[in-house]
Amino acid sequence: MTTEETIIHLVARQSDRSVADIHRENTLIEDIGLDSLDIMELAMEVEDEFAIDIYDDDDAEKVKTVDDLIKYVESHVKEARAK
Question: Phi, psi (5° rounding) for residue 65?
Answer: -120, 170
Q: Which member of 21, 35, 53, 59 is catalytic?
A: 35
What is the secondary structure of 29-58 as a DSSP string?
TTTT---HHHHHHHHHHHHHHHT-PPP-HH
Helix axes 3-15, 36-50, angle to 10 degrees: 150
Known catalytic membership, residue 48: no
Q: Which residues form the catalytic set?
A: 35
